Amino acid sequence: MLDYLKELNEVQREAVVRTEGPSLVIAGAGSGKTRVLTYRIAHLLKQGARPSNILALTFTNKAAREMKDRIGRVAGENVARYLWMGTFHSIFSRILRAEHETIGYPSNFTIYDSSDSKSLIKTIIKDFQLDDKTYKPNVVASRISMAKNNLITPMAYANSPEIRSADKNMRMPAISEIYKEYAKRCRLSGSMDFDDLLLITNLLFRDHEEILKKYQERFGYVLVDEYQDTNYSQYLIIKKLAAKHNNICVVGDDAQSIYSFRGARIENILNFKNDYPDHRVFKLEQNYRSTQTIVNAANSIIARNKKQIPKNVFSENALGKPIKILSALTDNEEGFLVAQEISQLQLRDHYQFEDFAILYRTNAQSRIFEESLRKRNIPYKIYGGLSFYQRKEIKDLLSYFRMTINPDDNEALKRIINYPARGIGQTTVGKLEVSAVSNETSIWRVLTALPEINHSQVNKGTATKLMGFVALIDRFQKLSQESDAFETAKTIAEQTGILKDLYNDKSPEGLSRHENIQELLNGIQEFSISAKEQGDPDKLENYLEDVALLTDQDNEKDEEKNKVTLMTVHSAKGLEFKNVFIVGMEENLFPSQRQGEKATQESLEEERRLFYVALTRAEENAWLSYANQRYRWGNLDFCTPSRFLEELDERYTEGQVPTGVSGRASAEQSNVSYSSPAQRFAQRQPSSSFKTRESQNILNKKLVSLKESGRAQDTFQGDDPGKIQAGMTVQHQRFGEGKVLKIEGIAPDLKATVFFRTTGQKQLLLKFAKLRIKS
């Protein structure tokens, strides 16, 4: 037997070696799914399949990269390189760029991220003179996204009575028009949003048989990871691509389908057997990750679900310790208990901090645990929040890159035409945009037609400024042709003045922004170097193709090691930790019920699966914690999982509506402070340095102005700002004594915004103020 096959159990091995025909691999939690996928590909290669004939689709870059690395180790890196392996979006954008002529897009089309889409939708709503309180950009965006993921084109949307009447019921009959206009403007900007990458691929294959054929023939083997998370659009593409050779292998776990809110269809995996009658099923049922106790508890949660593929996930690991319940009266106490458990375990059983994870349902819940961990000096990291690529300074610079590569990109243009400030105000941009829309073209084209078309519309001074901007971008375009990505990027960062602008800002934020830009440039340098080594194209254009599809989970830093992990259950999927705390069990784990909505059978089952996912992240110990009296389950401390689950099942009755008032009432009676979900949500604060929201920049600007007028300092010294409370008398280096009015955003990295009033002075907003508590 081949060496690598010895590392597999029997079912895994069968799933690996049965390479021909449709295969469905049901991979229970912790059952070695990645291992099967990678070995299967390695096996295909060993059997003589050409790497360029293998298509392997994943949902995240991280998954793709890990798999590629592992295959490289088994089959050789030179072979792994040529695999068509990547995320749905990256693979299809590659195909769309290759086939750009057929679909009528430039090959260098921009990929709009969600904030670009949202801002475009906002603009359209404004242009249509619709009320943006009725037409909420978020809602409109999700309707459009839903349509695209179900392959409903603007035309089909307009022609569907059901959809139109649903829109009417939501008092948004014009969504159809907005969708149409949105699609049009994307096209005029030479841009696609994330959903377009799938939708247009579908249309390409639907309308151009010869192209479909080409790819069908190319991809002799199609493999899909996390199949339960595919949406309709992805499902159809896969189906089409695999239709010729019929060698399709999908891997997934219906019990871990938790993404229906973003279009994932569990039906895709449940119906696989109907789509491919000659399929074979491989059930990976042995869990190698968790103790028996945890596996059994997790199983019993989803046992009542109707929609599922029957399986029997088991563990031969030790029985393990019972699942522990932490009950607390208040959320503060809950945080305290969790932190206490962690430090005890770390000291007593010599766990590393990285062995712990705290999982919650919503990001807003992280705060209390951050505070309690910080009090004990337990290092931690938070996932979720603003990604590196979403930060203002990064988006700004990337927008220059985008303009350089595709100047029709309106969203990028609007972002940077006056950043750094060059005296082109909103009014001017507005005029340009109106002109672009009425001429059915991009703002850039309007600009470059100056002064012929628009001479009358803007005054001479503005026109000069605009031409200056055009010249700048022109220069960058030439540069990008001649130089590699790094050279171009560096020059752009310098010549636009962005680098200098940030360098001059000595506030901590300015510093960190400057660092971020440096980091981005370093990344581009690495890209250029490795592209040269590999003989790949090394232009800015090529870098930009990748970067739109990257997220910050794609570059984890070493300094992030050995810290307790805080994240939502959703983002914990695919990860494992020795010790897992599932917190906020009292209600926040069940938002479908907390809103007072009736839980549907579907939502109920998904909530169960979510809990299943959470629990199966734990290898050795799991805790469930909750923080008020509303759901006090008697003496459940240190109970057995089954007892807990019985209790839980009572709550999981279909259609159960929470008695929102009773929680509050009982809390009042017992004189315990009750924190409602709304209140907790309200406490949401930017909780780490990675969460610099764009809108926070307004605050930052305020700081800068304060600083420039010599009225604020920028670092804390001495006292832990966490100890600073409203009402306290504090000493400020420059202003002397004053009273703290209000504090916002006490973050683990010791930053706070303090509203500060000194005698006879106006109220001051001090970010990162240098304060000393006066005792």
Partner DNA sequence: GCTCAGGGCATTTTT
Partner DNA sequence: TGCCCTGAGC
Pick out the residues of the known binding site: 27-34
Q: Which residue in 522, 673, 679, 715 binds DNA (CB under 7 A)?
A: 679
Cα separation, 303 vs 312, in Å, equals: 10
Does 382 participate in binding DNA (rule CB under 7 A)? no
Task: Report the nearest approach of DNA to the CB of residue 606 (Å).
Answer: 8
**Which residue carries 């004594």 as its tokens?**
737
Q: Could you say which of 617, 680, 767, 770 is catalytic?
A: 617
Query: What are the DSSP E strand ranges found in 613-716?
Result: 618-626
Identify the three-state secondary structure at position 645: helix
472-487: b (≥16 Cβ within 10 Å) or e = bbeebeebbeebbbbb
Other CB atoms within 10 Å distance of the CB of residue 681: 14
Stretch that binds DNA, among 240-248, 349-357, 358-366, 662-670 (CB under 7 A): 358-366
Tokens standing for 755?
């509203």
Task: Report the nearest approach of DNA to the CB of residue 124 (Å).
Answer: 14
Stretch that binds DNA, among 46-54, 333-341, 530-538, 546-554 (CB under 7 A): 546-554
Q: Do the beta carbons of residue 151 and residue 199 sit within 8 Å?
A: yes
Does 72 participate in binding DNA (rule CB under 7 A)? no
Q: Which residue in 475, 640, 681, 757 binds DNA (CB under 7 A)?
A: 681
Q: Which of residues 242-261 bind DNA (CB under 7 A)?
A: 259, 261
**Which residue carries 């109220």 as its tokens?**
763
Does 760 participate in binding DNA (rule CB under 7 A)? no
Task: Quote the crossing angle between the two packed helices 232-242 and 194-207, to the nearest 10°.
Answer: 40
* 389 DSSP assignment: G
Does 90 participate in binding DNA (rule CB under 7 A)? yes
Does 767 participate in binding DNA (rule CB under 7 A)? no
Does 762 participate in binding DNA (rule CB under 7 A)? yes
Question: Is residue 131 annotated as a catalytic residue, yes or no?
Answer: no
Q: Do the beta carbons of residue 185 and residue 121 sit within 8 Å?
A: no
Q: Which residue in 171, 682, 725, 761 binds DNA (CB under 7 A)?
A: 682
Other CB atoms within 10 Å distance of the CB of residue 218: 16
Which residue type sits at 160?
S
Question: Is residue 617 annotated as a catalytic residue, yes or no?
Answer: yes
Does 384 participate in binding DNA (rule CB under 7 A)? yes
Q: Which residue in 685, 689, 731, 758 binds DNA (CB under 7 A)?
A: 685
Q: Which residue in 283, 361, 381, 414 binds DNA (CB under 7 A)?
A: 361
Q: Could you say which of 256, 286, 565, 629 is catalytic?
A: 256
Does 761 participate in binding DNA (rule CB under 7 A)? no
Does 554 participate in binding DNA (rule CB under 7 A)? yes
Question: Is residue 34 annotated as a catalytic residue, yes or no?
Answer: yes
Identify the three-state secondary structure at position 604: helix
Does 745 participate in binding DNA (rule CB under 7 A)? yes
Which residue type sits at 551?
T
Q: Which residue in 131, 132, 209, 349 binds DNA (CB under 7 A)?
A: 132
Work out the widest C-alpha separation in the chain, in whole angstroms.
Answer: 85
Q: Do the beta carbons of residue 377 and residue 587 sit within 8 Å?
A: no
Other CB atoms within 10 Å distance of the CB of residue 333: 18
Specify the pairing of strand 380-382 against strand 221-224: unpaired
Query: Is 262 or 376 the residue whose CB approaches DNA more closely?
Result: 262
Task: Report the nearest approach of DNA to the CB of residue 179 (Å).
Answer: 18
Please tell me whether the peptide bond between 51 and the residue prior to it is cis, using omega within 30 degrees of 0: no
Does 380 participate in binding DNA (rule CB under 7 A)? no
Query: Is 339 or 747 the residue whose CB approaches DNA more closely?
Result: 747
Query: Is 506 or 532 the residue whose CB approaches DNA more closely?
Result: 506
- Which residues are known binding-site members for ATP? 27-34
Q: Which residue in 562, 705, 733, 761 binds DNA (CB under 7 A)?
A: 705
Does 697 participate in binding DNA (rule CB under 7 A)? no
Cα separation, 284 vs 282, in Å, equals: 6
Task: Report the nearest approach of DNA to the CB of residue 98 (Å).
Answer: 17
Question: Is residue 256 annotated as a catalytic residue, yes or no?
Answer: yes
Query: Is 114 or 758 the residue whose CB approaches DNA more closely?
Result: 114
Q: H or E stretch including 285?
A: none
Task: Report the nearest approach of DNA to the CB of residue 318 (Å).
Answer: 31
Does 497 participate in binding DNA (rule CB under 7 A)? no
Does 744 participate in binding DNA (rule CB under 7 A)? yes
Q: H or E stretch including 426?
A: helix 426-438
The burial of 535, by beta-carbon neighbours within 10 Å (0-12 exposed, 13-18 middle, 19 or more buried), is given as exposed
Q: With helix as H, strand as E and coil as C, how does 4-48 read?
A: HHHHCCHHHHHHHHCCCCCEEEEECCCCCHHHHHHHHHHHHHHCC
Cα separation, 386 vs 510, in Å, equals: 17
Q: Do the beta carbons of residue 704 and residue 718 sit within 8 Å?
A: no
Q: Which residue in 46, 50, 97, 136 binds DNA (CB under 7 A)?
A: 136
Which residue type sits at 172?
M
Stretch that binds DNA, among 59-67, 306-314, 326-334, 524-532 (CB under 7 A): 59-67
Q: Could you say which of 14, 18, 19, 34 is catalytic?
A: 34
Task: Quote the crossing angle between the two packed helices 508-534 and 392-405, to the nearest 10°.
Answer: 40
Question: Is residue 225 annotated as a catalytic residue, yes or no?
Answer: yes
Stretch that binds DNA, among 310-318, 661-669, 690-698, 715-723 (CB under 7 A): 690-698
Give strand pairing partners of 110: 191
Q: Which of residues 261-300 bind DNA (CB under 7 A)?
A: 261-262
Does 763 participate in binding DNA (rule CB under 7 A)? yes
Binding mask 175-194 for DNA (x = CB under 7 A): -------------------x
Cα separation, 498 vs 481, in Å, equals: 22
Query: Is 24 or 141 the residue whose CB approaches DNA more closely?
Result: 141
Query: Is 134 or 715 the residue whose CB approaches DNA more closely?
Result: 134
Task: Report the nearest approach of DNA to the CB of residue 79 (Å).
Answer: 24
Does 421 participate in binding DNA (rule CB under 7 A)? yes
* C-alpha distances in Å from residue 240, one per residue of 56, 99, 198, 229, 396: 15, 17, 13, 18, 39
Three-point CA angle 727, 728, 730, nearest 5° = 135
Tokens standing for 425?
């105000």
Question: Is residue 33 annotated as a catalytic residue, yes or no?
Answer: yes
- φ, ψ (nearest 5 deg) of residue 405: -85, -40
| Backbone region of residue 118 per phi and psi (left: phi > 0; alpha: psi in -120 to 50; beta: other values) | alpha
Task: Report the nearest approach of DNA to the CB of residue 575 (Å).
Answer: 12
Query: Is 132 or 654 the residue whose CB approaches DNA more closely?
Result: 132
Q: Could you say which of 13, 33, 143, 185 is catalytic?
A: 33
* 713 DSSP assignment: -
Cα separation, 277 vs 220, in Å, equals: 19
Stretch that binds DNA, among 81-89, 239-247, 435-443, 467-475 (CB under 7 A): 81-89
Does 701 participate in binding DNA (rule CB under 7 A)? yes
Residues that bind DNA (rule: CB under 7 A) add up to a total of 51
60-69: b (≥16 Cβ within 10 Å) or e = bbbbbeebbe
Does 656 participate in binding DNA (rule CB under 7 A)? no
Task: Report the nearest approach of DNA to the CB of residue 57 (Å).
Answer: 11
Identify the three-state secondary structure at position 582: strand
Does 719 participate in binding DNA (rule CB under 7 A)? no
Q: Which of 504, 703, 665, 28 is nearest to 311 (CA)?
A: 28
Stretch that binds DNA, among 331-339, 453-461, 691-699, 733-741 (CB under 7 A): 691-699
Q: Could you say which of 116, 181, 196, 225 is catalytic?
A: 225
Q: Which residue in 568, 629, 692, 700 binds DNA (CB under 7 A)?
A: 568
Query: Is 226 or 619 the residue whose CB approaches DNA more closely?
Result: 226
Q: Interface with DNA by CB under 7 A: which residues?
A: 59-62, 87-90, 113-114, 132-133, 136, 194, 259, 261-262, 361-364, 383-384, 421, 549, 551, 553-554, 567-568, 570-571, 591-592, 678-679, 681-685, 693, 695-696, 701-702, 705, 744-745, 762-763
- State the catalytic residues: 33-34, 225-226, 256, 617
